[in-house]
């Protein structure tokens, strides 16, 4: 993010309520109206739904500097998701109407938000492609590439998290992860995953 845009966003949100959440705490529950727009300054937040079987289905993860839930703010879309702190986080929370006024008055902030939305959409389209046509191995690789490009390498992530975001079982993740380890493409210890060579991992998809 451009530093001038980040400074502008910081100056706006820090006028409002500052909050801390511990790992595992819920910011917003599904079917509840959010209390405002959260600006994530540190930590990570996951957005997910719960299936009829009780499985957690992760649809998005937020890192600094993000603000959410913007679909609810812009489109008045009913909130269907939980937002939960993955690790300890710091946020500011601003009223929805004030956030809308802010982005409308600042086209550079709006363009930056749109750019990040499209990057997220690209990742979701890639995921959908392999959910529809790829095998479990390709789906796992896709998840790892998406996470690495968004959050860096190495990744702090568990097999449970990968199962939730890919729609596969933990047992399937473990099996396909072993294949990646055996090929020397990744190492995975204590919920820290290191991709040895991102380009080589991408080549496994083609």
User: Does the residue 122 lie in any domain?
Assistant: no
pTM for this prediction: 0.68
Q: Based on the domain organization, do 8 and 89 belong to the same domain?
A: yes
The C-alpha atoms of residue 184 and residue 186 are separated, in whole angstroms, by: 6
- Return the structure tokens found at 43: 């930590």
The C-alpha atoms of residue 46 and residue 59 are separated, in whole angstroms, by: 8
Q: Could you tell me the CATH number of the domain that includes residue 180?
A: 1.10.10.10
Q: Based on the domain organization, do 10 and 88 belong to the same domain?
A: yes
Q: Which residues pair with 57 in a beta bridge?
A: 49
10-residue stretch averages of pLDDT, the chain, 206 residues long: 88 96 96 94 92 81 90 91 95 97 94 80 67 76 84 86 84 92 89 89 82
Tokens 């812009």, residue?
Answer: 74
User: Does the residue 79 lie in any domain?
Assistant: yes
In the chain, % helix, strand, coil (3-state, to 5) comes to 45, 25, 30
State the pLDDT at residue 129. Answer: 66
Final residue belonging to a domain, choices 84, 115, 146: 115
Q: Based on the domain organization, do 150 and 190 belong to the same domain?
A: yes
User: Does the residue 125 lie in any domain?
Assistant: no
CA distances from 50 to 11, 15, 22, 29, 81 (A): 35, 34, 21, 11, 8
- Give the strand order in the sheet containing 82-85: 26-28, 82-85, 45-50, 56-62
State the pLDDT at residue 147. Answer: 83
């Amino acid at each position: 993010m451009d530093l001038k845009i980040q400074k502008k966003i910081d100056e706006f949100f820090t006028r409002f309520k500052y909050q801390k959440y511990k790992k595992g705490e819920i910011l917003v529950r599904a079917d509840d109206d959010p209390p405002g727009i959260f600006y994530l300054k540190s930590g990570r937040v996951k957005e997910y739904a719960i299936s009829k079987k009780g499985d957690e289905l992760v649809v998005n993860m937020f890192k600094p500097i993000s603000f959410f839930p913007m679909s609810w703010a812009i489109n008045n879309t009913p909130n269907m998701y939980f937002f939960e702190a993955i690790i300890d986080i710091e946020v500011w929370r601003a009223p929805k109407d004030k956030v809308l006024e802010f982005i409308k008055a600042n086209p550079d902030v709006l363009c930056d938000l749109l750019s990040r939305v499209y990057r997220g959409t690209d990742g979701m389209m890639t995921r959908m492609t392999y959910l529809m046509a790829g095998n479990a191995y390709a789906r796992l690789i896709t998840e790892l590439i998406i996470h690495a490009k968004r959050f860096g390498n190495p990744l702090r992530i568990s097999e449970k998290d990968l199962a939730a975001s890919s729609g596969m079982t933990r047992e399937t993740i473990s099996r396909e992860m072993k294949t990646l380890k055996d090929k020397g493409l990744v190492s995975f210890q204590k919920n820290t995953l290191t991709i040895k060579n991102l380009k080589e991992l991408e080549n496994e998809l083609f």
